[in-house]
Each structure stands twice: as C-alpha cells, then as structure tokens.
Structure 1
Amino acid sequence: MPMDLTHNDGVLEPPLAPAMLDDITDGAPGLLPVAALSQPLRIEVPQWPISSPGPDMPETLSLYWGGELVDAKTWYAAINPDELFIDVPTDSLLKEGEFQVTYRVLGYNGVEIGSKPLTLTIDRTAPVLGGDRGRLEFPDLGSQPVTDKFLKDNGEVLRGQVPVYQTFMPGDTIVYYWDDEPLDNTQVGEVTLTSQDAGNPVIIEYDGKMIRERGDGGRYAQYLVRDRAGNSSPVSVPKAVTVDAKPIPRVLPRPEVPLATGSQEQVTLKLVDVDEPVEIRIPGTAVIHPGEPFTVEWAPGLFGEQLLQGVEGVSSYRVAERHVVALSGKTVPLRYTVDGSDGPWWSDVRRVVIEPLPRSSMPIPQLSGTTGTTFSLKQQTRDPAITLAPWKLISQDQWVRIEIRGVSAEGASDLQVMRNHAVTEGELTSGIGATGDATVPLAFLSSLLLGQNFTIEVMVSFDAGRTWPALPNFEPLEITLLA
C-alpha cells in the first residue's frame, strides 16, 4: 500500500544502501551495481532517537520503495542494531530508473515519524557501440603500418578513436585489447571517462613499449564499453593493424663525389677537372625517413661553406664552383645531417682534398710595350700596363697580388704593383688590368740594370685573403730589360 505522507515526514535521517556506488560529478545518484540486483537488496536504517519498545508498547519500522510498502519489522524489546535493516525483494529491482527509498517509524508512544529520502538508480541497459559495430579508427596512422618512426614521432603511443556510442555517462570505462589473433581479448589498458569527455572524441592510447614488446606482424585492436553499473557492450569489431616497429639501424654512409678520385674516406678533387657545379650524392643506402629534414654540408664552418637543403626523394646535389675553388689546397669535410624525430644525426664524413689548379693551366701576365721577351726603355713614353686574362674558376672571393722582381745596382729590387686586390664583377670577364689600374712606373724600370731580366709574378688567394700560396700560382713573365 502507498505510504501516508501526513505524519512528520523528512525528520529522520535517510536510509542507507551498502551496495550502492559513491556518487560522481554529473553521474547517476545512488547507482546500484547490476551484480547487486540478482539478490534482495539490503537497506539499512540508522537507529532513531527515543526508542523504548516494550511488550505493551512495540515499535514498528516500515520501508517504502518508490512510495510502495516493501516490508515492516516490529520490536517488543530493546532493538539490536544488527536488526535495523529490511531487504528489498528482487521483484522490486527489475525496473530501471531512479527510486526514492524512505522509512517510517511508529514509536512506543504512538507517534509516527518519516525519514528523508534516499535516491537509488537502477541501470540495466548496456552501452550501444557506434558505427561499423564500434570498429576503432586510427586517424594519425591511416593505412600505414606502425613503424619505429611513427611511434617516435607520436610520443611513443598509437591513438585510437572510439566511434560515438549511445548512452554515454560519466564513469563509463573503455577496456581495450591488443591481440595476435582476432578477439583473443588480451587487455592492455582501460580509461574511465568523466563529464568533461561528453561531446568530445573518445581517445584511447596504446603504449608504444607494449606494441614493441608484442612484436611485429598483423595485430588486432578492439575494446568494449562498461558503464559504472557494470553493464558491458559487446566487444567491438577488431581493427587490423600491421606492426613493423623494429628499429631500423640509422645507416648514414659518407656522401659521394663522382668527379673525385679515390674510394676511401679521403678522395681527391682536381680543380682542373671542375667545369660546372660539383655533384654530391647521398648513397641509396642512407636511412632518411619520409618527412625528415636533412641538409648536405660542404665545408661546414669554413670559408667556402655551402649548405644545401635536402629534398625528399632527391639524392643528387650541386656545390657551386666558387665554394669549391675557395678551398683550393685544403682538405674539405663533407657530410649530411638528418633532423630526425629521435634527435639529429650526422653521416660519416667524406674528406675531399682540393688539388689546386696547375700553374700550366693559368694565364701568363702580359706587359704592354714588350717585344717578344724584351722591353726597350727608349721606346716607352708612358708607364707600361700589366694585364692578366681571366683564369679558370675566377670568382669575386679571390684576391690578387702582382709583384715585379729585378736587379738594380744596389742588388735585388722589388715593386708591388697590386696588393690584396679583390676581384671585381667586371674582372670576371675582362681579367685584371683591363682598366689600366695595374701599371709599372718607368722610373722603377729605369733603376734596374740593363741587359738583366726582371720578372712579373702573380699570386691569387682563393679564400679572400685568408690564406696565400707559398709560391706564385701563375706562370711568371720574364723580360729582358733594354735601353
């Protein structure tokens, strides 16, 4: 029968249900585990105040479930606290929803008092998986295999997205599996959702260490959803994944210089053979993963350095001639670097010896007013000019020195006609002295001994004056001085 709501209701403390779960934010109040619903549900009642039942003045406890009387107990003597409970029969636990549980006490003095309500929730409905029978999606992975690089690039996790499912509630738990065979259901993790997850994609993370330990090959990922009450969805349809996560050794062999001679760490590049930008090749065995930036480094840290940004799928690169000739006579380090997700990597170094241009390949300076190999002072009316034709691999990084060496009555006599002259853009095609800026004073030539030879010597620094050759690197011009 329905309870009478007219007598001192809401005075006593609410009843207790030991089986109910603790409440969580935005969760169902007083949720009962489905495991507790297969047997009568015990409801405990706190001892009410001023209790003194006797043979002629009994006290009666009545329990109500959703306003309906469940059962009652009567005492004719002092109440044992262990007796302050009433079991709700399983027939009353079949329906889902929220239920108000209250009790009433008819005291020894004939006064009836009601309790505050306890709200309990029964949920027997299992979550319903989303589309494609809940099959997981791996947005970061797509159709590619799970590789060592993929895991390193993604923080050592494989993220799976759970399709939106029905009856999401805070406290739902995603239990997920990773198997060698479909539906072996080897659990590898679980995640419990909160109210903050409502309306957002549900992401589960497969640990990279676990994936590596379980080995390469075909693998299957699936999950189930279990709500707080203990109702579980079916296991989702497995998602097939290929794992190839065994680390690939980072092999970065030395870059190759096809024009150079030699095959060991040190090779020789002859400048006389250089007629165009010098090709550098990255070996086909180099392990550079897709998407990894890399750079070819010619002479890193030296004058003449050139850094060439790598292009995915391209193995051939070109170093400009000026960057090659600038290192004439030196040994050049050559390598490539890879900016991998697992840190920077450097290739083995190729050492390239740059063999200077032979003097025989360089132009000989010329002196105006010269006849054959003689120079007659009496035939000159102005200071003669020195000219030098453009030479192989000339560039604006180069500096020029021109000196005259002869013999006077006092002994050796030298004159510096041009000192540390930086090659200009115009001189790249016209050569040195075409503008008349390299002349020899007749007064100096007149101070030399007649019948003796004087020499015009040219030296070029290929690295903007940082280093100079020990001897002239152009063939000298020897002239006999006549009256």
Structure 2
Amino acid sequence: MTAPWTKPAPLPDIPGGEINLLHRSAWADPNKPLRVEFKPWYEVEPKPGVESVSVFLDDDEKNEIGFGKWNVPMDPGDYFVEISADNLPQGKHTISFIMTNYLGVAARSFPYTVTIDKQATLLNADSQLIFPPEVSPPPKEIDAFFLARPENQDRVLARLPVYSEPKVGDVITRYWEEFPDSVNEVDTLTLELSDIGNPLMLTFSGQMLRDRGNGPRYATYRVRDRAGNESLPSANVRLQVNIQPPPLRKHPTVKEAQNGPGTGVLDPRLYGVSGVTVVIPKQEDEDKEFKREVFWKGNGEEGSHHALLPNPSNKSEFLIPAKAIPPNIGAGRIVEIIYTVDTAGSRPEPSDPLKLTVKPIAVQDFNPPIDCPLAARGTPLKLKLASVPDDGTPLVLQPWVYQAQTQLINIWLTDSNSREEYIRSAYPVVTGVNRAMLPKTFLQGVRINSIFAVHVSVSFDGGDSYLLFPTQDMQLLG
C-alpha cells in the first residue's frame, strides 16, 4: 500500500542536511497537530461499513502514535490522522500505517521517513564572540584607522565559539546595539556543508558601524537550526566605537588678510602680489602628524589652487601663488578656503571654510595709461596726423601688477563722433611690455583738434570678466 505523507510537508532536502526534516511549525502548535495523510485505497466505492487506520513508528506496530476510524464510503478529505507533538519523538523515524477495511482485512503501507528535531542549539559555556585583540576589550576601540588597514577591508571580523552539533542549514544571527538585548539585528549567516568543522567568522562591516554611531556597543548572536529551534542569546561582548567623523575642524586664516569669524578680506594691491599664506590653526591631534592639504577654491581653474605640501619651515603654513589671486577680483566673488586632515579613515576630515573676499583694484591703481611714444607730452597727449606713418604708430603698455601670460587684453579706440574700433580683442598677454598699432585709418576719421581715447581692459580669469585700466586721452593735430 502507498506510503503516507505529512501535512505540512518536510523541508526540502539539502546536501549534508537531515532527510525529510519537519519544521517545528509542523508539530509545535497544539492547535495545529501534524497530519499523516493517505491516498484513498478504493477506486470503486465500497459497501457501507466501518474501516480504521493505525499509524505507528519505526516498523513497530506496538508503537502506535495515531488512530482513525470512519464509516465508509469516506469523504476524500477525510483520509488523514492527526498526530500530537508528544507522539513525535526526537530523531529520524519511519511512519507506516495499517488499514483494516470493512471486511476486517488488514493491509500495511510502505514506510515514510521523517526527521524530527526538538533540541535547540546549546551554545558554548563561554559563548562570547572573539574579536581581534587590537579592538577589544575597552579602553581599546574600533577606530577609523583600524578599518582603513588594507588587511581589514573596512570591517571587523569576530570568531564564533564552537557550539554543540553545528548542522548544515543552521542560521546564525548577529546583533550590534547600545544595549545587550539581542534584538537589533545586523545580518545572518547560513551554514553550508563546507562550513562544518571549520572556524566560523562573523562580519561587522565598517558601513554598519558608521551607521550605528560612536560609543559603547554590544555584540551578541543566536543560532537557529533548520527546523526553527532557536538558542538562547550568547553572552555579550562590550566594545567601544570611535569612527564617526568629528565636528568640522576650525577654519583656517590667511596671514595677509583681515580675518574675522569664518570670513576674511584681502587687499590685493597691498598683499598677495607674491602670493598669500593660508594658516592652519593648532590641532588637538597635532602630535600624530596626519597629512594635511589646503584647498583654495576660487573662480574657475585659474582662481583655484590645491596646496599639497606645507611651508618647509612651518608645517601650519601653506603658500598660495600670486596667480590664484586676480581671477577672484570681481563683484560677488568669494574664495572658499578649507584644509583636510587625513586621519587614515575612510576619507580625510574637512575643516570649516574661510570665506575670503578679494577687494577690487581701482582703475587708477594700475600702471600709467597706455602710451603713444610718437605723441608729444601733455594732458592730453598731442599727436600730429601728418607725422603718423601709413601703417600707423605704436602704442605701448607697461607691465602691471599680477601680469601673467594666461591673461587676455582688449584695446580699443573711441572718438567724439562716437566711433569705436577694437585693435586688440581677447588677445593673449605677453610678459613684460605689450604693444599694438594705432591705425592711421582710424585717425583719418577723427576731427582735427578733437580728443580721441585709447581704452584698455585685461581679463585675469580667462575671459569671464575684464578689469578696466586707465584710459589715455589724445588730441589729434593736423
């Protein structure tokens, strides 16, 4: 006769696991006893009568664990017998049944194997997780330096003490919390066949540690076997965590600027022509000699600078070159200055920023106006049209403060007739004296004895804006 089966059905078999293991939910609820079910044994309805089934364990007819009796014909849904938990002993067993039909003839079924596990895992007497000696016990701590070591891979590993009868499918749940309640779960590890007999390591990731914050923390675990039986919580391990980024470090200052709380003002005419000095305030961890860098974040690439190394004579000072100053001269432009301290954590710690305003340079504070050597001295200069060669006459602009080859220059002419003509437009600056030609064709359109002007503007920021230089007025004579 066909073997019976159970409802709920056993868990699927896994390599190295128990055969037909019943989950504890199949038998632990007294209000939902396990069902042993049978295939109907008639293809044709029998005559009315009484039939019975006796269910027994391990091929022993005397070891009856369930019995059922019915009037036939039976409803298809009645082919089962309920088995209470106290009749399902621990271990691997076979379930069989004997059916006695209405004629009193008995027939025996094939056996059905099940495994029943009612024993919760017993943890080791010393059940605490075993953490690396570098981080446990307090006052040792888990810090960013420990997590940043290449061999630690931004994690802390803890070895699991051996417990009684590890089995394939055991689920180890680990907890990390402010109180040792074993409720704030981190993750689980399910044992595979290759894990049995080998040391087991539990991982506490650096990201999880950062998410759950600094301070005293407790690590515990539980073991739940594949049948669903759960151990008591392990003994807790107390650890100290100190990996969260600290508050922003105090803002730097600029030695040549007027400094306030988080702000500064730099006069580029009086200071900065040779560059400026960013000063990092004294740090609480100064003695650890962590690497520090300064970021001068100004207008565009030309107005910014990354200072990688300090002044050799003073490790708190970082030099910013003069070329990073003028691109930041302009309305509404602010240089943000920060420094970072690399504590060997996941990322360098930034400082509070200093917001630096670079004051404008007045037009008259640049060099004298552009000159025309052919013109007679005076105010304005006097230029005779008849003395100007057909190809024009030179204009000369002397070097100016912060001059650099990365700059661009405009030179243009205007006269009393509101004419305007550019003779240089966004033209690359040369170091030293800059020259251009004043064209005679423009002068021929200027009224004799009237005033015309030569204008100059220079861009310090790659063409984003231009600063006006002094204008040179000239009188054209016949």
TM range (shorter): 0.5 to 0.7
Deviation at 1:222, TM superposition (A): 1.5
Comparing 412-421 with 99-108, which one deviates more in the overlay?
A: 412-421
- Cα distance between partner residues in 2 of 1:369 and 1:247: 67
1:6 corresponds to which residue?
A: none
Counterpart among 22, 29, 32 of residue 31 in structure 1: 22
The alpha-carbon distance between structure 1 residues 177 and 117, as it changes in their structure 2 partners (threshold 3 A), is: same
Structure 1 position 401 matched with structure 2 position 393: no
Structure 1 position 332 matched with structure 2 position 333: yes
Superposed, which structure 2 residues align to 1:366-445 within 5 Å? Answer: 367=373, 385-396=394-405, 397-401=407-411, 419-422=423-426, 424=428, 427-429=430-432, 431-433=433-435, 437-438=436-437
Over the aligned positions, Cα root-mean-square deviation in angstroms equals: 6.6
- Contact in 2 for aligned 1:30/1:119 (Cα 8 Å): no
1:67 corresponds to which residue?
A: 59
1:351 corresponds to which residue?
A: 357
- Contact in 2 for aligned 1:223/1:235 (Cα 8 Å): yes
- Cα distance between partner residues in 1 of 2:100 and 2:388: 144
- Contact in 2 for aligned 1:128/1:167 (Cα 8 Å): no
Cα distance per residue 1:415-467 (max 9 Å; x no partner): 99973355546x313x123xxx535769969x999xx9999866333354944
**Could you tell me the TM-score, scaled by structure 1's length?**
0.57
- Cα distance between partner residues in 2 of 1:220 and 1:443: 86
- Percent identity for Structure 1 against Structure 2: 17
Deviation at 1:173, TM superposition (A): 3.6
Comparing 385-394 with 458-467, which one deviates more in the overlay?
A: 458-467
Deviation at 1:223, TM superposition (A): 0.7
- Cα distance between partner residues in 2 of 1:127 and 1:76: 39
Counterpart among 440, 445, 458 of residue 461 in structure 1: 458
- Cα distance between partner residues in 2 of 1:52 and 1:71: 30
- Cα distance between partner residues in 1 of 2:108 and 2:374: 129
- Contact in 2 for aligned 1:173/1:191 (Cα 8 Å): no
- Contact in 2 for aligned 1:129/1:163 (Cα 8 Å): no
Q: Work out which of the two has the higher radius of gyration on C-alpha atoms and give 1 or 2.
A: 1
- Cα distance between partner residues in 2 of 1:86 and 1:441: 117
The alpha-carbon distance between structure 1 residues 211 and 106, as it changes in their structure 2 partners (threshold 3 A), is: same
- Cα distance between partner residues in 2 of 1:128 and 1:421: 86
Cα distance per residue 1:244-271 (max 9 Å; x no partner): 5888556785x64332235364624223
- Contact in 1 for aligned 2:129/2:161 (Cα 8 Å): no
Structure 2: gaps of 5 or more residues = 73-77, 148-154, 284-289, 341-345
- Cα distance between partner residues in 1 of 2:451 and 2:205: 85
Counterpart among 108, 115, 122 of residue 109 in structure 2: 115
The alpha-carbon distance between structure 1 residues 336 and 107, as it changes in their structure 2 partners (threshold 3 A), is: same
The alpha-carbon distance between structure 1 residues 226 and 317, as it changes in their structure 2 partners (threshold 3 A), is: same
1:299 corresponds to which residue?
A: 299
Q: Secondary structure at the match of 2:437?
A: coil
The alpha-carbon distance between structure 1 residues 116 and 321, as it changes in their structure 2 partners (threshold 3 A), is: same
Alignment: residue pair count: 416
1:188 corresponds to which residue?
A: 184
Structure 1: gaps of 5 or more residues = 1-8, 151-157, 406-411
- Cα distance between partner residues in 2 of 1:123 and 1:273: 83
- Cα distance between partner residues in 1 of 2:184 and 2:357: 51
Counterpart among 78, 98, 101 of residue 95 in structure 2: 101
Residue type at the aligned position of 1:419? I
The alpha-carbon distance between structure 1 residues 108 and 21, as it changes in their structure 2 partners (threshold 3 A), is: closer
Q: Secondary structure at the match of 2:258?
A: coil
The alpha-carbon distance between structure 1 residues 85 and 231, as it changes in their structure 2 partners (threshold 3 A), is: closer
- Contact in 1 for aligned 2:268/2:361 (Cα 8 Å): yes
Counterpart among 14, 22, 28 of residue 4 in structure 2: 14
2:152 corresponds to which residue?
A: none
- Contact in 2 for aligned 1:35/1:230 (Cα 8 Å): no
- Contact in 1 for aligned 2:4/2:37 (Cα 8 Å): yes
- Contact in 1 for aligned 2:414/2:452 (Cα 8 Å): yes
Deviation at 1:283, TM superposition (A): 6.6
- Contact in 1 for aligned 2:303/2:328 (Cα 8 Å): no
The alpha-carbon distance between structure 1 residues 326 and 122, as it changes in their structure 2 partners (threshold 3 A), is: closer
Deviation at 1:116, TM superposition (A): 4.1
Residue type at the aligned position of 1:14? P
